[in-house]
A and B are shown apart, each in its own frame.
Chain A
């Protein structure tokens, strides 16, 4: 499949940063759901999804974000989404989800917020 996407994990104390790299499209978006599902099983509490390196997102990508957000909320865990810019921001705005998602402008700020909630 074209437009591959990779997911990389970083850890800052109790907070896991999920770097999404590449296009979150109909072929790749499911990968994020799988990764987060496994992380929830491992009882990880704080998540930051960093979309800084995502040049393209489609409705499947948005769907994946919605699913992940719902799973995280259902388990009483916390999520921040950062690096939302360019066409990714546009697509999220078009779907009217910009305020629904816990979007934070910068990664550092997201980590700070999650730390404070600990």
Chain B
């Protein structure tokens, strides 16, 4: 049996193997192998037909070029390759031409020399491949020894003995095909392993993501607690990708800095650290947590600024981790940092570390953390929104509570007087007022009218109001003068450690029988008195400090007689300072004009008139301060 068939047989086997590989998935570069099989087939058939020895090295030229292309699938083409391919191509053309132009001095030996040079070039290329510069380098590294040694041997034998000798032709060439077999089989096995890994990656990724989501879900339903949610996120992330430490840093609400919000394990600062903070891990941890990182600075700040996730496989090779190289408390071996991004907004960054020497993160870890980060970002963003709503509601609730307290403090209905009519208007600037008014009948004849403006807002102001009201209700009596009442109120309020609020208070005690009024004033606005006889608005004032300034404060009072048609007006700043859209204050002058126009009306009508005029003046401009107006008209 002619061994010629062995050659053809091996080539056919190669084709069969190719078909099998193609069916199990389409690895990249499969076409190269198909061409290679085609070239071998053409070589064998051509040899059968023409019996020319030159065919063999010419086919080898193409085979080596295909090997180059295959390696370059992984590493990318280089400029030198063009020279290589061009020389091979020219040699191929020249070789084919020499069939017809026998005078061309192209011998199989000359081609063999070229082939050897090709193998050397290939050997250099393969020698340079490492996992750091080539993706999927493993298959090249696994097969490179066999490829180079095998191809080299074939070319050397070819050079020494030529390709025509039957032994060579029928044994060497089929044996050379074994190289291709080997590489193709290894490639196939590799692809299988890779796809198995991919499936496994996706399933573990899914599992851990689900677990992570479940943890988060539990944390969120229990109570909205952002710090705790961040703790869970970082704990899950560190656990799932087998990191030694992790940290979440969030962008500050006001400044362009990152603040550490959660850590797991010992996450050292990625920058030089003062000696004092290096004494032990507790100090280091505290230093890391308390030192804000400007956005753009350190590797974490860079990740936030750029929005790009990054993997530093080996920290020794990254100058940005220069502070973490020494074998000390700061040592970092490998790092992943993924910015937390939601619709083009960077909320912060999640980062994990390996800290044991020579332990590095892999691409799969990187992918894992990216998946986590994506989910965490959306969760955190939702929490932010939710917390803001909650905060707003809390504020509104506080306003509601204060408003409710206040509502209870104010008299429900003003008492009816024999010798006069009473009316009030009170309007808070923002839900809750710092103003308080009261009307207290003291006996058959005397009635106390007071208007009070507490400095401050919200519940604390409402508490001060309650205290003032309680003390006032306790103190007032027909026998106690207005000034003495204020002295008592002030003494009751001032100097309490839990009260740091002040109030102004104007107090009128009106004696209906005598048609006489007394005004005492704790730095409130003067009492406005409309004299019907003179058609004039007068200001009546008395000396005194605001309530709460000085415990031993003294208060003066003014006593004056009234006539029918006279009007007493107690009001707060918010009335006289009501702003128009053009930033003009309402003012006393304008108030006097309305009172003059409406002085014939009972208190109720007068209050309506003043109110309407203020509204005309404000013309929809924002109300800055609470407005209270208490009016007594002598009938």
Which residues of A line the B interface, CB within 8 A? Answer: 1-6, 21-23, 56, 105
* Contact between B497 and A2, CB atoms less than 8 A apart: no
Distance in Å: Cβ of A114 to nearest Cβ of chain B: 17
Chain B, Cβ-Cβ closest to A5:
B497
Q: Does B437 contact A (CB under 8 A)?
A: no
* Contact between A22 and B548, CB atoms less than 8 A apart: no
* Contact between B497 and A21, CB atoms less than 8 A apart: yes
* Contact between A4 and B497, CB atoms less than 8 A apart: yes
Given A1-B550, A2-B502, decide whether A22 and B497 contact each other with a Cβ distance below 8 A: yes
Could you say which residues of chain B place their CB within 8 Å of the CB of A21? 497
List the 3 shortest-distance A-B pairs measured between CB atoms, nearest first. A3-B500, A4-B497, A2-B548
Report the bound CA distance from A105 to B496 in whole Å.
Answer: 30
Could you say which residues of chain A place their CB within 8 Å of the CB of B500? 2-3, 23, 56
* Contact between A2 and B286, CB atoms less than 8 A apart: no
Task: Provide a sorted-by-A list of 12 A–B residue pairs whose CB atoms are within 8 angstroms.
Answer: A1-B495, A1-B550, A2-B494, A2-B495, A2-B501, A2-B548, A2-B549, A3-B500, A4-B497, A5-B497, A22-B497, A105-B286
Instruction: Give the size range of B's interface with the partner.
Output: 10 to 19
Q: How many Cβ-Cβ contacts under 8 Å join chain A to chain B?
A: 24
Q: Which of B286, B497, B548 has a CB less than 8 Å from the CB of A6?
A: B497
Interface string of B484-525 (1 = CB under 8 A from A): 000000000011110111100000000000000000000000
Could you say which residues of chain A place their CB within 8 Å of the CB of B501? 2
Chain A, Cβ-Cβ closest to B496:
A4
Report the bound CA distance from A23 to B497 in whole Å.
Answer: 9
Report the bound CA distance from A105 to B283 in whole Å.
Answer: 11
Report the bound CA distance from A40 to B496 in whole Å.
Answer: 30
Report the bound CA distance from A23 to B495 in whole Å.
Answer: 12
Could you say which residues of chain B place their CB within 8 Å of the CB of A6? 497
Report the bound CA distance from A94 to B550 in whole Å.
Answer: 30
Could you say which residues of chain A place their CB within 8 Å of the CB of B495? 1-2, 4
Other than A2-B501, A2-B548, give 14 A-B pairs with Cβ distance below 8 A: A1-B550, A1-B551, A2-B494, A2-B495, A2-B499, A2-B500, A2-B502, A2-B549, A4-B496, A4-B497, A6-B497, A21-B497, A56-B500, A105-B286
Could you say which residues of chain A place their CB within 8 Å of the CB of B548? 2
Report the bound CA distance from A7 to B488 in whole Å.
Answer: 28
Distance in Å: Cβ of B245 to nearest Cβ of chain A: 22
Chain A, Cβ-Cβ closest to B500:
A3
Distance in Å: Cβ of A113 to nearest Cβ of chain B: 12
Report the bound CA distance from A18 to B439 in whole Å.
Answer: 47
Could you say which residues of chain B place their CB within 8 Å of the CB of A1? 494-495, 549-551
Distance in Å: Cβ of B616 to nearest Cβ of chain A: 39
Distance in Å: Cβ of A107 to nearest Cβ of chain B: 15
Could you say which residues of chain B place their CB within 8 Å of the CB of A5? 497
Chain B, Cβ-Cβ closest to A1:
B550
